[in-house]
Amino acid sequence: MGNGRASSWLRNNSNKFYVHKQTKVARMSDMVNNHKSSHSHSLSQLGGIKELATLLETDIKRGIPDNKDHIDKRKRAFGVNMFSKPPPKPFHCFVLESFQDTTIIILLLCALLSLAFGMKQHGWKEGWYDGGSIILAVILVVVVSSVSNFNQSRQFRKVSGKSSNIGVEVVRGGRRQSVSIFDVVVGDIVYLKIGDQVPADGVFLEGHSLKVDESSMTGESDHVHVNAETNPFLLSGTKVTDGFAHMLVTSVGTNTAWGTMMGSIATHPHQDTPLQTRLTQLTSSIAKLGLLFASLVLLLSLIRYFTGSTIDDFGNPEFLGRNTKFDDVMNSVLGIVAAAVTIVVVAIPEGLPLAVTLTLAYSMKKMMRDNAMVRRISACETMGSATTICTDKTGTLTLNEMKVTEIWVGKSKLPEHGCLAPNLVQLLKEGIGLNTTGSVYLPQQTSLPEISGSPTEKALLSWAVLYLGMDIDEVKKHCEIIHVETFNSMTKRSGILMREKTGSSTIRTHWKGAAEMILRMCSNYYDQKGEIMIMNDEERIQIESIVKGIATKSLRCIAIAFAQKSFKSQDCKNIEKKLQESELTLLGILGLKDPCRPGVEAAVESCKQAGVKIKMITGDNVHTARVIATECGILDPYEELDEAAVVEGFQFRNFSPEERMDKIERIRVMARSSPSDKLLMVQCLKQKGHVVAVTGDGTNDAPALKEADIGLSMGIQGTEVAKESSDIVILDDNFSSVVTVLRWGRCVYTNIQKFIQFQLTVNIAALVINFVAAVSSGKVPLTAVQLLWVNLIMDTLGALALATEQPTNDLMKMPPVGRVEPLITRVMWRNLISQALYQVLVLLILQFKGRSIFDVSEKVKNTLIFNAFVLCQVFNEFNARKLEKKDIFEGIGKNKLFIVIVGLTIVIQLVMVEFLNKFANTERLTWEQWGVCVGIGALSWPVGLLMKCIPIVPNSRR
């Protein structure tokens, strides 16, 4: 059944047709899943790969029809290429986790006992206030924190889902196109090249030198050679390490070997980032201090109560020995225990890890809009400490839009419309059309061809099609490729061994690659007339100077060369599959232009102002590298350069370890580098104490990306191996986006510091006030409910307000943090200690002199202390926005959430003081008393301004 007839028949009988053939397809798919060597023979018995393609109605050359209905029917029949994910954690799980906190449990127990004794003593109407208030406050804290954690969990899940959506090249309707991995269907023909991830299970159709890393499936580190004869099976999730091929998809999604394995593996729990780990340790230390204070408060309060030193609101002793009712004793004791437990709740800054989670989730969402997809959340905070960025040139600093702008044949530059000798044209067509991983698709005779492949391949193919009039299908029709050596970063070249199908006994080797590499292999060259000339030493020097001249124009130099040998016809079948590497004939040298990206110079300058060093590492020759580095601003054209500023890869690797470590700081450009040179540079920089970020797009960049503190892969040109090894994917391949990531990283780090300063101020003030009051009077001025409200302000709401501050240009004017600077800097200590001392001083005056100053009752005095304390936190939240700058209102209009949270805090505080008296244990205040509380809070601003006038020697930075 032909493809056209099959497609028509499918439209009417698709379901019956697929059901009829699914049994045989499933049998073949099972062979692919198990991919034992014996199954190659079984596959042949079933008719082989061609029979499988026929079963799947796939044209081996043109693929399946590029028709949405046709593809949808295949999805319904054979499934979609997605794995079933475990369901997200429901909201009630977050609530249950919050209730599992030890201090919350103790508070609830105290509240329930207080509720029971209160109702017994005062009845239902009056007895529930104390215990019920604590229960309601605890529920409020739990709900707010659960909602926050639930939302952040959904955000992380959403971002992680995007990271698994990769692009795959398939052939549909004779056209090579990129589709989502989720849209790959059974019967698709997928094009694979070095660095690609195999998107589904399938079989090898055609290709050369294909090697696959199956370690993710088998655990074996050796790369597996895949071919049509002995091992045609390809497994989903494996990586292509060499060669290229077309594969026929036989099963997708959960029907693949990878899908079966993933279904049996539980998901790994979320791991804390390094900063979260540090904050957890800080939280633990503060919690121990808070526990000590709470124990002392509990002990002293109990002693004072049972010795009759505490008095009630009427001035009478609370404990009168045997004359005191048991219910009164238990209520008082439970109140003391609840107050001590609440001190622990307030002392433990559990909002610190929460603040990290909030700011990371917020930053990840914003960074996605700025063309940066975070794969590992720890990279956000690490990027803020980066001191050095090692960047690629092609595609990152440049546009990666190659175009042939110069053509040299021998020692002559070809005019724009110049002609070449027919024999030279034919050899160039072979050298470009066969020695390529790209493809040319011509939809109609009158339209422009669609060219696929890497930017270099596209430029060469475009020139061959438009300038030489190459018909790639015609070239392939008359030639047979015997062996292929694919391009890799070490050799900087690719080659093929081929012969004509007309029965010719001539075997040709075609090479193309970096001009310097190809020239070393040449002993002859073609001139413009199509005659072969011997390349003596003088002419070699002249051609090398031509290459140098092309490079100084910031062009990439690609040379094309060939060699041929004749064999007797009976020996042609036994040709050794080895490409000739000497005595080649140079066909021509092409100069490819790849202009710098707009805005990259400003981005490099921004990094310099931020104290971050930029090092360009490229495979291009030293002359091209120097020119591009100058255009981008990495090298200053007016600066007298150090001799070590520009080096080549072989020089760097041949330095002695001491010499390398001495020069590593001064190197700005490394040309003709190999992946091992890049890895070596990253290792040296880390040894020198740098926090290193590395950009990369190739499979061979994977070791450097993994070794770096932050690996940044390219989303457009980056291979799947590179993306898998990276921490962040730059979706637009632009260096400006790398700088955006740096800015966001610094923003994350600074926001965490702001919140630490804010929360520790509250912790210190609350601990000291309650401790001093308990020691002196046996009672704490801030009740359990009030302290829970303060805890809510400084934990969840404070984290939301301060963790969502957006990055500013000021962040890029500060030196990098590096590895050694403490999380709490001297500037932060100055700010938080000064504010805590101010709050403690004012509130202790209210504690001891408040009744006489304002002529009020004990309960009103305690309300004044509570109200003033909360308002101090509200005003101090503005101070925390700027660690060093005196203008604390700068940019406040951009953070609407901050304004909303501050407004919400004030409104709820007003309601608690004026309307929820029994719930919050407060008394209504007069306008004058409110003015006093607001004034006490507002004084935080001038105190903060005065403290920032005190010069502080900053912590040592790199």
Q: Which residues are catalytic?
A: 392
Instruction: Locate 461 and state its tokens.
Output: 């193919």
Within 702-734, residue ranges assigned H as helices are 702-707, 720-725
Phi/psi class of residue 196: alpha, beta or left (left: φ > 0; alpha: ψ in -120 to 50)?
A: beta
> Would you tell me how many other CB atoms lie within 10 Å of the CB of residue 923?
18
β-strand 646-648 against 669-671: which pairing, if any?
parallel
Give the C-alpha separation, 175 to 162, whole Å: 26
Give the C-alpha separation, 632 to 730, whole Å: 19
**At a CB cut-off of 8 Å and minimum separation 6, what does 212 contact?**
198, 223, 224, 226, 234, 235, 238, 239, 240, 241
In which element (H, E) is residue 122 found? helix 102-127
DSSP 35: -
Instruction: Answer whether 156's CB lies under 8 Å from 273's CB.
Output: no
Closest CA to 97 of 153, 135, 137: 153
Give the C-alpha separation, 824 to 873, whole Å: 19
Give the C-alpha separation, 777 to 781, whole Å: 10
User: Given 3-state DSSP classes, what are the helix, strand and coil percentages for the chain, each rounded to the nearest 5?
Assistant: 55, 15, 30
Instruction: Locate 922 and state its tokens.
Output: 């407060």
Give the C-alpha separation, 227 to 233, whole Å: 8
β-strand 233-234 against 201-213: which pairing, if any?
antiparallel
Give the C-alpha separation, 841 to 845, whole Å: 6
**At a CB cut-off of 8 Å and minimum separation 6, what does 223 contact?**
211, 212, 213, 214, 241, 242
* Residue 351 buriedness (CB in 10 A; 0-12 / 13-18 / 19+): buried
Half-sphere exposure of 140 (CA within 13 A, CB side): 19
| Cα separation values, 653 from 140, 626, 659, 711, Å | 62, 19, 11, 22
Instruction: Locate 426 and state its tokens.
Output: 């034919």
In which element (H, E) is residue 593 found? strand 584-593
**At a CB cut-off of 8 Å and minimum separation 6, what does 904 contact?**
797
What are the two backbone dihedrals, phi and then psi, of residue 2, each rounded to the nearest 5 degrees? Answer: -70, 165
| Cα separation values, 198 from 48, 207, 452, 800, 833, Å | 21, 14, 19, 42, 57
* Residue 353 buriedness (CB in 10 A; 0-12 / 13-18 / 19+): buried
Integer-rounded Cα radius of gyration of the chain:
36
